[in-house]
Amino acid sequence: MLPDARSAAVSALTGPAWPVDDRPEQRPAHFADAGLTLLRTASGDEPEIWCRCDGGPHGYLSIAAHAHADALSVEVRCGGVDILADPGTYCYHGEPEWRSYFRSTLGHNTVEIAGQSQSAEGGPFLWLQQAQTRQLGVADAGETARWSAEHDGYASLTPPARHCRSVELDRSARSVTILDEITGSHDVRVAFHLGPAVTAELSGHTAELAWPDAAGPGRARFTLPRELRWSLHRGETDPVIAGWYSAGLGQREPAITLIGTGRVDMSASLRSCLEFAQAVPLSTGDERH
């Protein structure tokens, strides 16, 4: 007699544990099918710096219903605290402006070109055009781990535009450097979404970050590209939605988003560097949240 669903579930729960000998000697860092790469500090070097780089496919099957326009986005955690965070999803139905924002390119830690998302949505669960991502390289040797990828989501612009991103983790310096190379003459916006536990002071192109109330408190200095004009946003809905984080379906809370705006004429290399320390002196900034 074939087992029913209940007996199969009980058998799975009570069956033999996963063989210890089959576990990898080291934690995997690259997941080829998903196009995800993890850059980490060495085991025992606490608090751990963890960086997730997205160079995977846009989504599942042709309509990619649950996909987001997040090609080349990055997330960074320090001691388990979200520093550069994926803002989440928030909703599926009933609030189309919020649905679009949380799926948009500007709603992720990546680059928006010409005021539009990399992939074109046709409804809350439909994409009419999907960016295709190509991973260029992954290297991990000694104190440095690197990742790079590019996508074609802006190839249909006039002139065509291209975005290539490289991320480097320097374990000894405890820093994450993001290099965005953009071609084509267009307006660009670069967004960095901070986790809800992170506060920030922005002065020009430098942001001083702190998470004093987290389980693992710390500080970091975020040096942003000088070529762009930087602004700080938190819990805004007018004139546009900006500065929000969703921990789960139907939940949202204000969080800081740093947005850099400017124009690329033919080509540009935009460098951002996040440097971690247990104590970074906070300067007097022109904006504080």
* Position 78 pLDDT exceeds 80: yes
Enclosing domain of residue 215: 30-288
CA–CA separation, 209 vs 195, rounded Å? 11
Amino acid at 180: D
15-37 pLDDT, tens digit each = 555 455 555 566 778 787 788 99
Dihedral pair phi/psi, residue 58, rounded to 5°: -60, -45
Overall average pLDDT of the 261-287 stretch: 77
Residue 23 domain flag: no
CB 157 within 8 A of CB 113: yes
134-160 pLDDT, tens digit each = 999 999 988 999 999 999 999 999 999
Residue 88 domain flag: yes
CA–CA separation, 238 vs 42, rounded Å? 43
The pLDDT value given to residue 10: 46
Residue 5 domain flag: no
Residue 15 domain flag: no
Residue 83 domain flag: yes
Q: What dihedral do alpha carbons 155, 96, 196, 270 form, nearest 10°?
A: 20
The pLDDT value given to residue 187: 97
* Position 271 pLDDT exceeds 80: yes
Q: Higher confidence at residue 257 or residue 14?
A: 257
Residue 20 domain flag: no
CATH of the domain at 152: 2.70.98.70
| Sheet hosting strand 267-277, strand order edge to edge | 133-141, 144-151, 162-170, 175-183, 267-277, 219-223, 206-210, 199-203, 287-288
Residue 242 domain flag: yes
pTM for this predicted structure: 0.86
Residue 105 domain flag: yes
For the chain, the domain total comes to 1
